[in-house]
Amino acid sequence: MTLSTIAAASGEDVCPFDISSTGRPVFRAFVRARAEFGGSRICIADVDDSERSYDDIMRGALALGHALKAGTKAGECVGVMLPTGAGAIATFLALSAYGRVPAMLNFTSGAAAIKSALRTAQVKKIATAKRLVDMAGLKPLVEELSRDFEIVYLEELRGKLSIVDKLAAVVGSIFPSLVTKRPSPDSPAVILFTSGTEGEPKGVALSHRNLLANVEQVRVHLALYPTDILLNPLPAFHCFGLTVGSLMPPLLGLKVVCHPTPLQPKEIVARIKKHKATILVSTDTFITQYARVGEPGDLSSLRLTVCGAERLRDETRALLRRKHGIELLEGYGVTETSPVIAANRPGANRPGTVGQMMADMQYRLEPVEGIPNAGRLVVKGPNVMLGYLRPEAPGRIDPPAGGWHDTGDVVSVDEDGFIAIKGRLKRFAKIGGESVSLAVVESCASALWPDFSHAAITVPDGRKGEQIVLVTNNKDANRHDIVGWAHNHGVSELAIPRRIVVVDEIPVLGTGKTDYVGVQKMLPAEGAA
């Protein structure tokens, strides 16, 4: 079923999806946006609130890309280890302009995961910034990486630009085709990496068409205007932060206000207020923090607040509505789909769901034993990846069979096409032969103790196969209270955790998602027995 079928059934109006806009490389899409909106138009407000126009980004990207391409060939991957900001956007466009493929590195994931990712994508050169290395304490990491990979500091590179580099920027700003490459729209545009929670991280190869298709899908799904100002605190190595937060705004004529980390709620609230941001992209974990530190009126400029990457809790919705008068829109995506698959929207916002599917996508539900009225979501569309780069086969793209990607998420779809996520297939416990969603366990804990963080995991159980353990930072949490709450709200006894483990803090990944591998390691040794 496609979105047009769903829309016709629900009576919703859907803007036409312009497939022609996806048939060019990302850099050429930026060139087109510059021509459409004007070179002098401000498109980026950087971390320090300095502003960049389309002309600024164009010239910087052309000069930087001409210098960065030295020692590499067209189609080769170049590592990018940068925080969200004008530098990351310009570097992405710089590599794209000359046919190189940015491999976005999660600098919070540790040396072993980064080195594995670099080997998988066959990277030889890494572009980074001294400011990031110093501020994030990455010097030991960079020293270790420098033994096997060439490290290029962008500050040094800018200071050493040659006359030829600068000439390329001047000529390219007027006649882009004279100095830049024009890769196929269906060739790799970026390599992103999975979190590696199930072993070494896999590379996800997304094409130029994939990225531009998802930008177009979001454009037709949500009403976006050139007067909009989007604040993006999500990392550039996260697909949502890259496609929606960094690339989409300049490509559609929106201004983006970049913030290097989502972990600074006071600063982010202040910047929303200062810049009068109208759109915020975030996650449940981070938007809760912003809502709590912000005073009433601080977020009043926001007209679209879209949360993804993790489940949006009812408690978070209630807090934003009560304190700030904001209706949150929950969306859903995976890296393999560039990333957005579905989203709620104003006038079609159904809490408890992640909204309706993006335009020009198809899906099917594969039955899952023990989970009635739902199935494993498998999707196909112009935003579905080229394929995986696997550690055991570096540099080789393994395409999804028939263009279909198995998300691994168990969902239900109602008659209007709204998708409800039941949980990751791997986030279900098997207890006494029945499947229990660990997301339900976490929802119960969040409803009972909304001011704390919770993570449900499983450990082996000799009698019932598995048992559920709730890990929480609520020092007063006890099983008696959650048993009573579950009974009063009709929750199955199977969803009541067998044990509760109290910790100081629930670990999260750089993307804002719960780090379940880290949570598992926090269990007492006897808990894994």
Q: pLDDT tens-digit profile of 159-181? A: 899 899 999 999 989 998 888 89
As for how many domains the chain has, the answer is 2
Handedness of CA 258, 263, 266, 272 (dihedral sign): positive
Q: How far apart are CA 525 and CA 285, in angstroms?
A: 28
79 in a domain, yes or no?
yes
- In the DSSP assignment, the letter for residue 395 is T
In the prediction, which pLDDT does 321 show?
93
Q: What pLDDT is recorded for position 187?
A: 97
Min mean pLDDT across 7-11, 236-240, 336-340, 410-414 is at 7-11
Q: Is residue 212 domain-resident?
A: yes
Looking at residue 3, what is its pLDDT? 37
Task: With respect to residue 425, please indicate whether it lies within any of the assigned structural domains.
Answer: no
Q: Could you tell me if 110 and 165 lie in one domain?
A: yes
Residues whose CB falls within 8 Å of the CB of residue 386, separated by 6 or more in sequence, listed in order: 186, 188, 205, 206, 207, 210, 397, 399
- Domain boundary at 356, 386, 419, which? 419
| Backbone angle region of 5, left / alpha / beta, with phi > 0 → left and psi within -120 to 50 → alpha | alpha
Mean pLDDT of 495-519: 79
Q: Is the pLDDT confidence value at 5 over 70?
A: no
Statement: residue 413 has pLDDT above 60: yes
* CA distance linking residue 516 with residue 195, whole number of Å: 11
* CATH code for the domain in which residue 124 is found: 3.40.50.12780
Domain boundaries, position 281:
3-419
Q: What is the pLDDT of residue 336?
A: 96
Would residue 259 count as lying in a domain?
yes
DSSP string, 408-421: EEEEEE-TT--EEE
- CATH label of the domain that carries residue 497: 3.30.300.30
State how far the Cα of 394 lies from the Cα of 411, in Å rounded to an integer: 33
For residue 299, being part of any structural domain is answered with yes
Confidence of residue 425 (pLDDT cuts 50, 70, 90): low
If you average pLDDT over residues 279-300, what whole number do you get?
92
Q: Which of 419, 445, 470 is the last residue of a domain?
A: 419
pLDDT (tens digit per residue) in 181-224: 999 999 999 999 987 555 578 999 999 999 999 999 999 999 89
Helix, coil or strand: residue 468: strand
Does 448 map to a domain? yes
Kindly state whether residue 203 falls inside one of the protein's structural domains.
Answer: yes
| 238 shares a domain with 353 | yes
Residue 171: count of CB within 10 angstroms of its CB: 13
In this predicted structure, what is the pLDDT of residue 10? 35
Residues 515 and 397 in one domain: no
Q: What confidence category does residue 357 fall into, taking pLDDT thresholds of 50, 70 and 90?
A: very high
**Judgement on whether residues 385 and 507 belong to the same structural domain of the protein:** no
Give tens-digit pLDDT for 98-155: 999 999 999 988 888 899 999 999 999 999 999 999 998 999 999 999 999 999 999 9
Of the candidates 296, 286, 297, the residue with the CA atom closest to the CA atom of residue 241: 286
Please say whether the beta carbons of 306 and 329 come within 8 A.
yes
Give the residue from 419, 453, 485 where a domain finishes: 419
Q: Could you tell me the pLDDT band of residue 527, with boundaries at 50, 70 and 90?
A: very low
- Is residue 427 one of the residues assigned to a domain? no
Q: How large is the angle between the packed helices 26-37 and 208-221, nearest 10 degrees?
A: 40
Mean pLDDT of the chain: 87
Nearest to 246 by CA among 408, 68, 376, 84: 84
- CA–CA distance, 379 with 33 (Å, rounded to integer): 30
Distance, in Å, from the CA atom of 237 to the CA atom of 217, rounded to the nearest integer, reads 21
Q: How far apart are CA 328 and CA 349, in angstroms?
A: 9
User: How confident is the model at residue 481, as a pLDDT?
Assistant: 81
Q: pLDDT-based confidence at 387, cuts 50/70/90?
A: very high
Same domain, 443 and 411: no
The two tokens of residue 364 are 């099917």
For position 430, what pLDDT does the model report? 61
Q: What is the 3-state secondary structure (H, E, C) of 153-165?
A: EHHHHHHCCCHHH
pLDDT value of residue 510: 64
pLDDT of residue 138: 93
> Is the pLDDT confidence value at 420 over 50?
yes
Contacts 24+ apart (CB under 8 A), 374-377: 374/410, 374/411, 374/412, 374/422, 375/410, 375/411, 375/412, 376/406, 376/407, 376/408, 376/409, 376/410, 376/425, 377/406, 377/407, 377/409, 377/410, 377/411, 377/419
d(CA 466, CA 400): 32
Q: Does 386 share its domain with 457? A: no
What pLDDT does residue 299 have?
95
Q: What is the pLDDT of residue 8?
A: 29
Q: Do 413 and 406 meet the contact criterion of CB atoms below 8 Å apart?
A: no
